[in-house]
């Protein structure tokens, strides 16, 4: 694979680039955000490793610029910020995966291989619909019956998850793992409270309700 690594820490950058080269990959390493962004925009890469905190142009700005220009390169965001909100912000900015420092090289390599196997983003729909509800993934605009709905990032991610699986029941565990990246039961009502707020915006103002509770199972968007 041809891999771009943007990492300003010399030790980490050499560790990642050296390991990937030892596996037979071609690696371009940059320690400056502005230079790395120029290279990302001009080169054709299979995957990209991006440190969130790089000088001159930070990782989040690089992500947003790439996605705004329709650059589809899969990006693994590498960062020391491990909070749930940090993960969500990174994924919403356009990252395809998120790895927290310190990390094992074997896991980084496996994640990059998984990203490279994913089908091109062009195969994915850019607009999701359920009856009169419409979500534009590019503009991140949600409307129902022509009325715009203002959603917070977590609400948007929750609705997107349900729309992508329209008609299929999604359990609480599925939602925690996909929307919150939580792989254990936090013993809170985080799913229920966010679902309630989402319903207040998507369903309550309208005659027909789209979000169903399947008792004892989970939730689904009506097909």
Question: For residue 54, what is the domain's CATH number?
Answer: 3.40.50.2300
Same domain for 97 and 40: yes
* 166 contact partners, CB below 8 Å, separation of at least 6: 128, 130, 220, 221, 222, 223
Same domain for 67 and 154: no
Same domain for 23 and 103: yes
Q: Is the dihedral of CA 33, 38, 39, 45 positive or negative?
A: positive
Same domain for 141 and 110: no
Same domain for 52 and 116: yes
Same domain for 134 and 99: no
Q: Domain range holding 58?
A: 2-121
Same domain for 155 and 141: yes
φ, ψ for residue 21, nearest 5 deg:
-65, -35
Question: For residue 154, what is the domain's CATH number?
Answer: 1.10.10.10
Q: What do you get for the CA distance between the two ends of the chain, in Å?
A: 40
Q: Where are the beta strands (DSSP E) in 7-146?
A: 26-30, 47-51, 75-79, 97-100, 127-130, 133-136, 141-144
Same domain for 108 and 28: yes
Instruction: Choose one of 98, 121, 144: the last residue of a domain.
Output: 121
Instruction: Choose one of 69, 96, 121: the last residue of a domain.
Output: 121
Encoding tokens for residue 222?
Answer: 């009506």
Same domain for 111 and 158: no
Calpha distance 196→158 (Å, rounded): 11
Domain count, the chain: 2
Same domain for 78 and 40: yes
SS3 sequence of 161-220: HHHHCCCCCECHHHHHHHHCCCCCCCCCCHHHHHHHHHHHHHCCCCCCCCEEEECCCEEE
Same domain for 96 and 10: yes
Instruction: Choose one of 67, 102, 121: the last residue of a domain.
Output: 121
Per-residue pLDDT of the chain (223 residues), as tens digits, is 899 999 999 999 999 999 999 999 999 999 999 999 999 988 778 899 999 889 999 999 999 999 888 888 899 999 888 788 888 888 888 899 999 988 999 999 999 999 888 766 555 678 999 999 999 988 889 999 999 999 999 999 999 999 999 988 999 888 998 899 887 777 889 999 999 999 999 999 999 999 999 988 899 998 7
Same domain for 101 and 75: yes
């Amino acid at each position: 694979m041809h891999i771009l690594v943007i990492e300003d820490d010399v030790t980490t950058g050499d560790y990642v680039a050296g390991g990937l080269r030892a596996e037979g990959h071609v690696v371009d390493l940059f320690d400056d955000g502005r230079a790395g962004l120029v290279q990302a925009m001009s080169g054709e890469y299979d995957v990209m490793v991006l440190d969130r905190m790089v000088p001159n142009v930070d990782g989040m700005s690089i992500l947003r610029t790439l996605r705004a220009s329709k650059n589809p390169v899969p990006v693994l965001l590498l960062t020391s910020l491990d909070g749930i909100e940090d993960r969500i912000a990174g994924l919403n900015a356009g990252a395809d995966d998120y790895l927290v420092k310190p990390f094992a090289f074997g896991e980084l390599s496996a994640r990059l291989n998984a990203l490279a196997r994913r089908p091109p983003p062009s195969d994915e729909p850019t607009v999701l619909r359920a009856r009169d509800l419409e979500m534009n993934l590019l503009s991140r605009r949600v409307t129902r019956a022509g009325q715009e709905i203002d959603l917070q990032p977590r609400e948007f991610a929750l609705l997107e998850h349900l729309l992508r699986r329209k008609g299929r029941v999604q359990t609480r565990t599925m939602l925690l793992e996909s929307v919150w990246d939580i792989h254990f039961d936090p013993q809170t009502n985080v799913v229920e409270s966010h679902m309630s707020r989402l319903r207040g915006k998507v369903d309550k103002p309208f005659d027909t309700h789209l979000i169903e509770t399947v008792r004892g199972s989970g939730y689904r968007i009506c097909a």
